[in-house]
């Protein structure tokens, strides 16, 4: 039985799929904590119905505080903003320094608050279930310090490496793809660039709308994410680096 923490931003349909899979035994695990960046996240209700501890770190409020007066915005004592700006891969290195500093300061403060909120609830795996905030090295290094044994998963609404970013199904639709899908991957410092664990695909017909694609994609997400989490619970995921420098995930055979 693994302990699972989850981060959400919205309705939490993937969280519900994980909760249901834990209840049915499809995942040998238990969700022990749910956090969000959005005080209005409807998915919090799904957690409260199961008496799962929750916490809200309002990223938007912190960003507004920084913009009001950067000089009065305290950052965590253990946050090296210069190092964070140098190592993060989300804001271009040639972007204006104030944009990079704003991102580093607000993310570090928000992520420190998340880490503090999660601390009373030890977990083996953190799943991003519709969490609409990218995580920086500040958070990743503290929660998942081993690149050989990562423990933060994300689900993305596209067949990576195609269409990273926040609107995978929309990008799939606008590009005119004949196949859509979803991807579960471990996270790294980039945006949807971590090693891929699993994917599911579906056909797109000429009459499909964006809403149809999203509906089909969500159904695949609800199947794929629990399957990948169970592989983690069975200790069957191994991350290795290829000769070309790519990090890939091998799935070990079932011992049964």
CATH architecture of 156-256: 3-Layer(aba) Sandwich (3.40)
- Residues 159 and 15: their CA atoms lie apart, in Å, by 20
Residues 78-113: tens digit of each pLDDT = 999 999 999 988 898 889 999 999 999 999 999 999
Q: Is the pLDDT of residue 226 over 80?
A: yes
- Residues 42 and 46: their CA atoms lie apart, in Å, by 8
With H, G, I as helix, E, B as strand and everything else as coil, classify residue 106: helix
Total-model pTM: 0.96
Please confirm, yes or no, whether 185 is among the known catalytic residues. no
Domains in the chain: boundaries: 156-256
Q: Are strands 29-36 and 237-241 parallel, antiparallel or unpaired?
A: unpaired
Rounded to 5°, angle at Cα 118 from 114 and 121: 175
- Least confidently predicted of 88-97, 133-142, 169-178: 88-97
Mean pLDDT score of the chain: 96
What is the predicted pLDDT for the residue at 89?
A: 87
Q: Which two tokens stand for residue 46?
A: 């799904």
Of residues 46, 100, 101, 156, which has the active-site annotation?
156
Q: How buried is 73 (Cβ within 10 angstroms: 0-12 exposed, 13-18 middle, 19+ buried)?
A: middle
Helix 210-233 / helix 13-24 crossing angle, nearest 10 deg? 40
The pair phi, psi for residue 143, each rounded to 5°, is: -95, -35
């Amino acid at each position: 039985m693994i302990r699972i923490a989850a981060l959400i931003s919205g309705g939490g349909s993937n969280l519900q799929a994980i909760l249901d899979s834990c209840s049915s035994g499809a995942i040998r695990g238990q969700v022990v904590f749910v956090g969000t960046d959005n005080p209005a996240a409807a998915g919090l209700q799904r957690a409260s119905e199961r008496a799962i501890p929750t916490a809200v770190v309002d990223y938007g409020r912190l960003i507004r505080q920084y913009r009001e007066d950067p000089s009065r915005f305290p950052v965590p004592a253990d946050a090296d903003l210069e190092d964070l700006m140098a190592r993060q891969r989300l804001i271009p290195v040639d972007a204006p320094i104030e944009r990079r500093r704003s991102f580093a300061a607000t993310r570090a403060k928000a992520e420190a608050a998340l880490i503090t909120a999660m601390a009373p609830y030890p977990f083996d795996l953190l799943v991003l279930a519709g969490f609409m905030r990218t995580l920086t090295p500040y958070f990743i290094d503290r929660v998942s310090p081993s690149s050989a044994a990562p423990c933060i998963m994300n689900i993305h609404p596209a067949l990576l490496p195609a269409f990273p970013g926040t609107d995978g199904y929309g990008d799939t639709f606008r590009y005119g793809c004949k196949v859509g899908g979803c991807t579960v991957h471990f996270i790294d410092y980039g945006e949807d660039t971590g090693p891929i664990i699993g994917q599911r695909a579906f056909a797109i017909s000429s009459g499909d709308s964006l809403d149809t694609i999203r509906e089909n994609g969500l159904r695949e997400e609800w199947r794929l994410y629990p399957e990948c989490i169970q592989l983690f619970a069975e200790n069957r995921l191994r991350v290795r680096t290829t000769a070309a420098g790519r990090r890939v995930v091998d799935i070990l055979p079932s011992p049964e």
